[in-house]
Amino acid sequence: MTIEVRVPQLPESVADATVVAWRKQPGDTVTRDENIVDLETDKVVLEVPAPAAGTIKELKVPSGATVTSGQLLAIIDAGDVAVAAATVAAKADSAVQTEAVGGAKLAPSVRRLVEEHHLQPTGIEGSGRDGRITKGDVLSHLSEKESSNAVPAAAAARPVASAVVPIGAPKGSRAERRVPMTRLRARIAERLIQAQSTAAMLTTFNEVDLSAVNDLRSRYKERFEKEHGVRLGFMSFFVKASIEALRRFPVINASVDGNDIVYHEYYDIGVAVSTDRGLVVPVLRDADGLGFGEIEKSVSAYANRAREGSLTLDELTGGTFTITNGGVFGSLLSTPILNMPQSAILGMHKIQERPVVVGGQIVVRPMMYLAMSYDHRIIDGKEAVQFLVAVKEALEDPARLLLQV
Amino acid sequence: MSDNQFDVVVIGAGPAGYPCAIRAAQNGLKVACIDEWKNADGSYAFGGTCLNAGCIPSKALLESSELYHRAQTEFAAHGLSATGLAFDVATMQKRKTQIVKASTQGIASLLKAAGVTALQGHGRLLSGNRVEYTAADGSKRELSARHVVLATGSAPMELKSVPFDCRAVVDSWGALEFTEVPKRLGVIGAGVIGLELGSVWRRLGAEVVVLEAMDQFLAMADQQLAKEALKHFRKLGLDIKLGAKVSGAEIGQDGVTLKYADQAGAKSVTVDKVVVAIGRRPYTRDLLGEGVAVELDERGFIKVDNECRTTTPDVWAVGDVVRGPMLAHKGKEEGVMVGDLIAGRVAEVNYAAVPSVIYTAPEIAWVGQTEEQVKASGRAYKTGSFPFMASGRARAMEAPAGFAKVISAIDDDTILGIHVIGPMAGELIAEAVLAMEYSASTEDLQRTMHAHPTLSEALHEAALAVDKRAIDYPNK
C-alpha cells in the first residue's frame, strides 16, 4: 500500500516553503513520525514526519525546490518493515554541509564549545576534512550569532555554504568565500529594511533601579518556586510593568494600517528568546490575564522549546508589543529595531551595580538601562517618554503593579 | 595485451617510482617499472638514491656512529665504563651494505608480489607514449603505455670550482663509502646532507669543517630551532663557518686546500677529503626522446600541475624530478597519488603538511610554517614551547637537549606549525602532521591525552604553553 507524504497546511501569512534537506532517500526505511524532510519557511524550519512506517519509494521534489501547502513531497511503501537502528550518520549531502557532522565525532575543542554555548552541531558548517567542524568554524558561527542578536526576528538562518576550502590552500590566504543567504536570513534582512523604511523609528532611554525587584525576588524565592514550580525571574516583572504602562498609553500597543491607527484591546506580549539559530519571539497571548507564575512558566517553556526548534508558527505570529533582552550577552545599551507591524519595542539590558544618588547620598544600586524604540508616526515623544517612565516607576515600586496606580 | 603493452610504465624505481608502480598494480593495472641504478660493483639495485646512496645508508652510519659517540660521552653518567672502546669502519660499512641490500631486494620482491614487471636498464620516453627500454646487454625493446610516469629523481649538484674527482672530492654517496675515517674532512654546504654526513665522521673522530655560503644557518627552518641546532653542532665539534663562499680547491701533497672567502676576507683550509653537499638537481639525462613535448622549467625540473601531470597528456612526473621539497615521502605520496589518479580514483597530495626531518643529534623535525613565515604572512600568532630538559623521559634517556614549539593562529586557534629539536623528533612530528591534516586547533592538541612518561608529552605541553596553561613547566 502506498502512502503520500504532502506539505502540511502552511499558515495564511506563509505563501510557500523551500525543501532544505531530505533526511531520507529512496530505499531507506522510516518509522512512523520519523522526520523525512526539512522545509524552510520565512519563520521556521518545519519537519515533515512519516505518517506511517515503511520504505521510501520516491522523492517527488528535489532539494531546494519551492513547495506549497498540500503539495506531494514523497511516496512511501507502507509495511511492517523491521526498523533498522536509526542511523545517526546521514549520508553526506554536499549541498547541505550540516549532514556531514552526523556520524563524524567532534574534535575536543568543538565538543567543549558546543557544550559551553549550548549549540546544535548540525547548525554549524564544517570546513575541515570530510566536512568536519573545526574550532574556527564554531568561533565564526558564534560571532555570526552575536551580531544578529539585537534584532527581533523569527528563527534565524543556518548558512548553507557552497564553497569548500581548496586543498592545499596556503594558510592566511586572502581568498573570498561567496555564500548565498538562506531563505530565513534573506527574509530577516528584508524585514529589517522594511521596518527601518516604513516606520519613523527612534529610541528613547531611561534607567531603572531594580533593587525593589531584587528584594522581592530574594524574599519570595523559595515560596514562589514551591507554589509555581518555576524560578521567579525578571521577565514577569518586565511584562507586568509593560502592561501597566500600555494600559495608560494605549497608542504604544497599537499599529499602523494604511492611514488608520489600529488600537488592540488585548495585550499579546512577545518575549524575545535567544537560541543558537538566532533570536525568536514567541508571544504571550492575553498577557494581562496571566499571573507572575504563569508568565514565568510560559517564558521558560517557550525558551526550552525555542532551543529545541519546536515552536509552532502560531506561537511566533501576532503580538502587539515586544520585550527584548540584550543584557544576556552583556549589552549595556542598545537601540532595538521594531518587530513590524508593532509600533514599539522595549529593550532590557545588563543589570550593573552603579553608584547613584538617593536622598542626597551616594549609594550602590543594581541599575539597568531601558530603551524603547517606537514608531513616531503614531507615538509622540511625550507619550514614549512617559510610557518608559511608567515602566520604570512600576519596576522601582512593584506595589504599583498590585494597586494599578 | 602483448608483452610490450602496458597500462602504465614507470621510469625510475626510487621512493617515488616504486610506490607509484605498486599502487597502480594494486588498482588492477598492468605495470612495468624500469630502473637503471647501478652500484659501484656494477650490480643493479632498485630503490634509487634513497635506498642506495641516501636515506637508508646514511641512517645506518648515523646510528652506528651515534652509538659509539654516546658510549664515549654518556656511559659514565649511567655508571657504565668500557675500556678499549673501538670501532671498525669496515664492519660498520658491511652492516650498512647489508641493510641496503636487504632493502633493495625488498623492493624487488614487493614489485614482484604486486605483479609489476620490473626491468633493470635505461628507460627513455618516446613520442606517442612509447618507452624505449635498453637492457644491460644493450638490447632495446619498445614498450607502449597508456600512461607513463617519470620518476628519475635527482643527482648531487656539482661545484664547478671544486669538481668531483671521486677520490679526494666526493659527493654525498662518496662520503657514505669512505673506508676509513678521514683525518680532516671539509664539507661544502651546511644543509641537511652536509650536517648528517659531517656528524657521522666527526663522531668517529674526524676534524670537520663545514663551509656554508649563506649567512643564515638552516635558513628554511624556524630560526629559533636553527639557533639551538647550531649551538649543538658546534658543541659536537663541527666547525661551521657561515657566509663562507668557496672559490676553488687545490689538490696537493698535504691534501685538498679549499679556498674560500667570508666577511673577514680570503681564507683557506686544508683537508684530506672534501664532500660537496650543496644541493641536488633534477635528473633527466637521456630521458626525453625527440619530439616529446614534456616541458622542463628554468631549473630543469619537469613542469607539472598539482596532480603531477606534465605538459604532455597521460605523461606524469613525480619525486625529486619535479618541483617541491626533495624529500622521499613527498615523492612517495606523489607516486601513490598518480597510481590512483591513473586508475580513476580520487587522490591528492597536501603540500601544506609535508614534514621535514634532519637526522642529526639532536634530531630536528618540523611541519607547517616557521615563525618567520607566519610573521611575514601578517597573521597574528601565539607560540608555546617546552624544553626536553623538563621531560622526565628525556632526562631518563640522557637526552635533555632541545625543545618542542607550537605556533598557532590567534584568530581561530589553528595550528600553523610545529617544530621539534630533540630526541626522536622525526617520530614525534607524525602527530603534528596528522593534527594539521585535520585542521586541528591548538586546543584539540591540548585536550588530547599523551602517554606518560614519553617524549610526545613535549608536544602536549608546548600546545598548552601557547595559552600559558602548561602544567609541567612554568608559563612565562
For B433-449, the pLDDT digits (tens) are: 999 999 999 999 999 99
The catalytic position among B69, B232, B452, B460 is: B452
Q: Is there a contact between B412 and A171 if contact means CB atoms under 8 Å apart?
A: no
Say whether B352 and A168 touch across the interface (CB within 8 A).
yes
Q: Is residue B74 part of a domain?
A: no
Whether residue A158 is found in the same domain as residue A306: no
Q: Which residue of A has its CA nearest to B349?
A: A168
CB contact under 8 A, A112 and B447: yes
Residue B80 included in any domain: no
Instruction: Say how far apart CA B204 and CA B399 lie, in whole Å.
Output: 20
Looking at the complex, report in whole angstroms how far the Cα of residue A212 sits from the nearest Cα belonging to chain B: 43
Which residues of chain B are at the A interface, by a Cβ-Cβ cutoff of 8 Å? 306, 348-352, 369, 374, 377-379, 409, 411-414, 416, 437-441, 443-444, 446-448
d(C-alpha B15, C-alpha A401), whole Å: 84
DSSP three-state, residue A363:
strand
Number of domains in chain B: 3
Q: Is B222 exposed, middle or buried (0-12, 13-18, 19+ CB in 10 A)?
A: buried
Residues B327 and B424 in one domain: no
- For residue B204, give its domain range: 169-278
The string of pLDDT tens digits covering residues B358-375 is 999 999 999 999 999 999
**What is the predicted pLDDT for the residue at A7?**
87
Measured between CA atoms, the residue of chain A closest to residue B375 is A172
pLDDT for res A151:
46
Chain A closest CA to B307's CA: distance in Å?
A: 11
Residue A157 counted as domain residue:
yes
User: Do A171 and A216 fall within a single domain?
Assistant: no
Q: For chains A and B, count residue pairs whose Cβ atoms are closer than 8 Å.
A: 68
A16 with A62, same domain: the answer is yes
Give which of B13, B8, B36, B2 is closest to B138, Cα–Cα. Answer: B36
Q: How far is Cα A71 from Cα A60, in angstroms, rounded to an integer?
A: 10
Contact residues, chain B, for A134 at CB < 8 Å = 412, 414, 439-441
Looking at the DSSP bridge assignments, the partners of residue A348 are A325
CB atoms inside a 10 Å sphere around CB A390: 20
Domain presence at residue A88: no
* Domain containing residue B396: CATH number: 3.30.390.30
Residues of A with CB below 8 A from B377's CB?
171-172
Check residue A31 and give its pLDDT. 84
Instruction: Report if residue A228 sits inside a domain.
Output: yes
Residue A210 and residue A120 in one domain:
no
Q: Does A213 share its domain with A304?
A: yes
Mean pLDDT (whole number) for A118-134: 87
- Kindly report the nearest CA distance between residue A93 and chain B, in angstroms: 18
Query: Does residue A341 sit in the same domain as residue A197?
Result: yes
DSSP for B397-443, please give it: TT----EEEEEEETTT-BEEEEEEEETTHHHHHHHHHHHHHTT-BHH
Average pLDDT over residues A347-372: 94
Q: Containing domain of residue A68, as a range?
A: 2-78
Q: Is residue A85 part of a domain?
A: no
B351 neighbourhood in chain A, CB within 8 Å = 168
Residue A21 lies in a domain: yes
Q: Please tell me which of the candidates A109, A140, A169 has its beta carbon nearest to residue B441.
A: A109
Average pLDDT over residues A393-403: 93
Question: Which of B337, B412, B436, B450 should be substituted to probe chain A, the one whose Cβ sees the most A Cβ atoms within 10 Å?
Answer: B412
pLDDT tens sequence across B106-154: 999 999 999 999 999 999 999 999 999 999 999 999 999 999 999 999 9
Residues 6+ apart with CB under 8 A from A360: none
The reply to whether B109 and B237 lie within a common domain is: no
User: Which residues face B9 on adjacent strands?
Assistant: B32, B148
Please list, in sequence order, all residues whose beta carbon lies within 8 angstroms of the beta carbon of residue B117, skipping any fewer than 6 positions away. Answer: B6, B30, B31, B32, B33
Same domain, A146 and A24: no
Is A252 a member of any domain? yes
pLDDT surpassing 80 at residue B169 = yes
Residues B224 and B368 in one domain: no
Q: Is B441 close to A136, i.e. CB distance below 8 A?
A: yes
Are A169 and A233 in the same domain?
Answer: no
Q: Do both B197 and B151 map to the same domain?
A: no
Query: A322 lies in a domain?
Result: yes
Q: Give the other-Cβ count within 10 Å of B344's Cβ.
A: 7
Residue B309 burial (10 A CB sphere; 0-12, 13-18, 19+): middle
- The answer on B455 and B331 residing in a single domain is no
Residue range A202-214: mean pLDDT, rounded = 95
* Percentage of the residues of chain B whose pLDDT score is greater than 70: 100
Taking the C-alpha atoms of residue B108 and residue B397, their distance in angstroms, rounded to an integer, is 38
| Domain shared by B10 and B123, yes or no | yes
Residues B140 and B25 in one domain: yes
Number of domains present in the structure of chain A: 3
* Chain A residues lying within 8 Å of B347, measured CB to CB: none
Answer for the pair A321, A253: CB distance below 8 angstroms, yes or no: yes
CB contact under 8 A, A171 and B413: no
DSSP-derived letter for residue A160 is -
Domain boundary among A78, A111, A132: A78
Quick one: B14 and B127 in the same domain? Answer: yes
**Nearest CB neighbour to B447, from listed A109, A168, A172:** A109
> Is the Cβ–Cβ distance between B364 and B388 less than 8 Å?
no
Domain end residue (candidates: B352, B370, B394): B352
- Check CB contact under 8 Å for A172 and B379: yes
- A89 within domain boundaries: no
- Please indicate, yes or no, whether residues B117 and B13 belong to a single structural domain of this protein: yes
Of A107, A167, A168, the CB nearest to B440: A107
Confirm whether the ipTM is greater than 0.85: no
Q: Which of B244, B278, B312 represents a domain boundary (last residue)?
A: B278
B63 part of a folded domain: no
DSSP letters spanning A13-39: T---EEEEEES--TT-EE-TT-EEEEE
Report residue B434: phi and psi, to 5°.
Answer: -60, -45
Residue B78 lies in a domain: no
In chain B, residues with a C-beta closer than 8 Å to the C-beta of A135 are 412-414, 441, 443-444
**Closest-CA distance of chain B to residue A111, Å:** 10
Q: What's B211's domain CATH number?
A: 3.50.50.60
- The single residue listed with the C-alpha cell 526498523 is A83
* Closest Cα in chain B to A132: B438
Asked if residue B32 and residue B112 are part of one domain, the reply reads: yes
- Considering CB atoms only, which of B351, B378, B439 is closest to A168? B351
Task: Dump pLDDT digits (tens) for B308-356.
Answer: 999 999 999 999 999 999 999 999 999 999 999 999 998 999 999 999 9
Q: Which of B278, B307, B324 is the last residue of a domain?
A: B278
For residues B134 and A296, what is the distance between their CA atoms, to the nearest angstrom?
A: 90
* Residue A105 binned pLDDT confidence (cut-offs 50, 70, 90): confident
> Which chain B residues are within 8 Å of A170, Cβ to Cβ?
352
Tens of pLDDT, residues B257-301? 999 999 999 999 999 999 999 999 999 999 999 999 999 999 999
Q: Does the residue B72 lie in any domain?
A: no
CA–CA separation, B144 vs B160, rounded Å? 39
Query: Any alpha helices (H) in B137-239, and if so which ranges?
Result: 172-176, 192-203, 223-236
Instruction: Give yes or no: residues B311 and B173 share one domain.
Output: no
| pLDDT score recorded for residue A157 | 38
Q: Are residues A155 and A49 in the same domain?
A: no
| pLDDT over 90 (residue A148) | no
How high is the pLDDT of residue A89?
32
Same domain, A12 and A137: no
**Cβ atoms of residues B231 and B93 within 8 Å:** no
Q: Which of A182, A208, A234 is the last residue before a domain boundary? A: A182
Residues B271, B286 within the same domain: no
- Asked if residue B86 is part of any domain, the answer here is no
Nearest CA in chain B to A107: B444
The alpha-carbon gap from A125 to the nearest alpha carbon of chain B, in Å, equals 14
The answer to whether residues A76 and A54 touch, using CB atoms and an 8 Å cutoff, is yes
- Within chain B, how many helices (H) and strands (E) appear? 13, 21
Q: In a 10 Å sphere around its CB, with 0-12 CB exposed, 13-18 middle and 19+ buried, how is residue A76 labelled?
A: buried
Q: Helices H, strands E: what count in chain A?
A: 9, 19
* CATH number assigned to the domain comprising residue A202: 3.30.559.10
Could you tell me if residue B308 is inside a domain?
A: yes
Which chain A residues have a beta carbon less than 8 Å from that of B443? 108-109, 112, 135
Q: What letter would DSSP give residue A154?
A: S
Same domain, A162 and A202: no
pLDDT digits (tens, 9 = 90+) for B219-267: 999 999 999 999 999 999 999 999 999 999 999 999 999 999 999 999 9
The answer to whether the CB atoms of A135 and B409 lie below 8 A apart is no
Which residue carries 497599537 as its cell? A254
Residues of A with a catalytic annotation lie at 376, 380
Same domain, A52 and A201: no
* List of residues 6+ apart from A185 with CB closer than 8 A: A156, A157, A159
Question: Is a pLDDT exceeding 60 seen at residue A96?
Answer: no
Q: Distance (Å, rounded) from C-alpha B134 to C-alpha B123?
A: 7
Point out the domain boundary residue: A182, A208, A243: A182
Whether B300 is covered by a domain: the verdict is yes
Whichever domain contains A154, its CATH number is 4.10.320.10
